[in-house]
A and B are shown apart, each in its own frame.
Chain A
Amino acid sequence: MKQRWSMWALAAGTLSLSATAFAAAPTPEMISFACAGCHGTNGGSAGLTMPSLASQSKTAIVDAMKKFKSGERPSTVMGRLAKGYTDADFDAMANFFSKQKFHATQQVVDAAKAKKGADLQEANCSRCHLEEGKEGKDDTPVMASQWLPYLQMQMGLYQSGARKMPEKMAEKVKPLSKEDIEALLHFYASVK
């Protein structure tokens, strides 16, 4: 029995070497699957402070990854991780996640705030955040159904100046009250 096992070992060793030699470069799936431990399977997040990437705008993902890598966008682990990838890798993961089905989260929001937020969104944000934030356009990310704590953390970073607000967004956000912004975030979180 032992003899047979060592023969197997020899055969397996040879096979492994050849498997390694002919391995193809990482595919978009290979690169993107690794993100799912934190962002959920196919980018549908269950973690309250982590965004869903499923159906996200391709440009928004590439843009975010580049800004994480350069440090322009503040982060904890994302900057350190982004440094491990090339621009081609960013394209590959953006391509993968943008093609995934929209992830609707189940979360409790304040109905009155969400209602107020719906009107504010229509009046102020809907030219860029299309379809109630469900559609990402160019570098505008999908906002709909993101977790409320994630949205609040990001808005906090924008307002503190740690994350740079796009000019068009700043124009619209500045006149809004704290309550208005809170209502908007409740609205986006509520969109299914």
Chain B
Amino acid sequence: MTLDRRSFIKVLGSASGLALAGCASQGPVGSTTEIMPKGGTRRVVVVGGGFGGAIAAKYVRMLDKSIEVVMIEKNRQFISCPFSNFYIAGLMNDMSTLTIGYDKLAANHGIKMVFGEVTAIDPAAKKVVTTEGTLAYDRLIVSPGIDFRTEEIEGYDARTAEIFPHAWKAGAQSTLLRNQLQSMKDGGTVVISMPLVPYRCPPGPYERASLIASYLKKHKPKSKLILLDANPDVVSKKPLFTKAWSTYYKDNFQYLNGKKVTKVDTGAGLVSVEGIDDFKGDVINLIPAQRAGMIAINSGLAGDDKKWCPVDAISFESTRHKGIHVIGDSAAPASDGPPMPKSGYSANSQAKVCAMNVVNLMNGKETIELSGINVCYSAISEHESVSIAAVYTVKGGKIMSVPNSGGISPVDFSMAKAEHAYGESWLRNILTEMST
């Protein structure tokens, strides 16, 4: 970057006309130089290249080649959260099978990539500000995943995640937790703390507990694992996980419900629940409560709860800002009954619905009702997995799962070995879809 030739602004709390309420003073610095000035071509800008963003960018181009698509992504490579529990629990040597790049995707579909961070969105000017410069758009698709509400935990500071990793964004955090588990002495205690719903990947903490318990049973048999669930009960695939725990891990694993961690003490190596119970751990995996990615919050896309972004159930257009669509973990589409889970597959499915309707809206055509799917596999042991599946439709402007469809695997685990293989294929297909 040529600092001398570009004027930079501190977007947050600056006089740039993008002053945003309620933000921290630190953050990436946006550049005011326009990159890729928009000519006569219509343009969709996509913020975030994850399960939602990469698919939205691809499908807009697949559906209408006359629309230019620019995708902005922080990282050159994407690392999948799904299956990262295998790596954490030592069942994968590295994260290569979880990692994809964007070169083929960009080349195959003519998607323009900007590797940088979005620092602000100006809905009125239809412009995003990034660390690399500003970009004008006709429609914007925002898919920034999640961020953590660490301010709700007393004592949580900038260093806490380096000591008590969340490992809820795959990458360095996954490696940190894996290394901590591997270097822990036999006889140690591992504590996982998980937040209240909604959070990214409902069965994820339970899968992680199962695989870590499996690791400890095999490699550190004198050790134990405690899962502190802030929720009053297991929130996903309950009959399957509880059966796996009582069948395989009853000697080294303890599930405790209604345990919301409110305070941490990294020095003492403990987490505290509502000022009543303290839990000491040799390894502490603290998954904080979550909200939409900060760029969505800071851009005024969150609803009254200040956490998630309300969107139309068909177009995924924000109810807060016209011309901006939000998909994936950050989105809270109008729903009747249990909402689509914040999963990779939901983001993939929503991205396609959003892409179709963005293209139709830009072409002055009528929008099309959502038909969506979620399929999610969770490992319960080294060689067995279970699944949940659902089909979604729209009724009265709200997303609902089709009555008498979907559901979880048989509780006798008769399909668990086959589903382990299907899970691997799931990963390969969904990552290939995003990267080609």
Chain A interfacial positions (CB closer than 8 Å to B)? 1-2, 4-5, 8-9, 11-13, 15-17, 19-27, 29-31, 33-41, 45-50, 76-77, 80-85, 89, 149, 153
CB neighbours (8 Å) of B315 from chain A are 16, 19-20
CB neighbours (8 Å) of A9 from chain B are 319-321
Complex CA distance for A12 and B430, rounded to whole angstroms: 32
A64 to chain B, nearest CB (A): 16
Q: Is the interface of A mostly helix, strand, loop or mixed?
A: helix
Q: A23-B314, A35-B373, A50-B429 are in contact. List 12 more A-B contacts (CB 8 A).
A: A1-B17, A8-B124, A12-B318, A12-B320, A19-B314, A20-B314, A23-B367, A37-B345, A38-B425, A38-B426, A48-B421, A76-B418
Complex CA distance for A27 and B371, rounded to whole angstroms: 9
B382-410: contact bitstring with A at CB < 8 Å (1 yes, 0 no)?
00000101111110010001101111010
B404-436: contact bitstring with A at CB < 8 Å (1 yes, 0 no)?
111101000001001101101111111011001
A23-B404 in contact (CB<8A): no
B429-A153 in contact (CB<8A): no
A25 to chain B, nearest CB (A): 6
Question: Contact partner of B418 among A25, A84, A153, CB < 8 A?
Answer: A153
A48-B428 in contact (CB<8A): yes
Q: Using A24-B368, A77-B387 as known contacts, say yes or no to A16 and B422 having CB atoms under 8 A apart.
A: no
CB neighbours (8 Å) of A21 from chain B are 397
Complex CA distance for A82 and B418, rounded to whole angstroms: 19
A17 to chain B, nearest CB (A): 7
A34-B406 in contact (CB<8A): no
Question: Contact partner of A16 among B17, B317, B402, CB < 8 A?
Answer: B317
B407-A23 in contact (CB<8A): no
B370-A13 in contact (CB<8A): no
Complex CA distance for A70 and B371, rounded to whole angstroms: 21
CB neighbours (8 Å) of B428 from chain A are 46-48
Q: Using A8-B123, A30-B370 as known contacts, say yes or no to A83 and B404 having CB atoms under 8 A apart.
A: yes
CB neighbours (8 Å) of B426 from chain A are 37-38, 47, 50
Complex CA distance for A24 and B320, rounded to whole angstroms: 24
Q: Is there a chain A Cβ closer than 8 Å to B68's Cβ?
A: no
B425-A48 in contact (CB<8A): yes
B356-A30 in contact (CB<8A): yes
7 examples of A-B residue contacts, CB within 8 angstroms: A8-B124, A8-B322, A13-B319, A24-B367, A37-B348, A46-B433, A49-B424
A23-B369 in contact (CB<8A): yes
Complex CA distance for A144 and B341, rounded to whole angstroms: 36
CB neighbours (8 Å) of B361 from chain A are 19
CB neighbours (8 Å) of B123 from chain A are 5, 8
Complex CA distance for A176 and B131, rounded to whole angstroms: 65
B322-A41 in contact (CB<8A): no
Complex CA distance for A33 and B291, rounded to whole angstroms: 28
B230 to chain A, nearest CB (A): 29
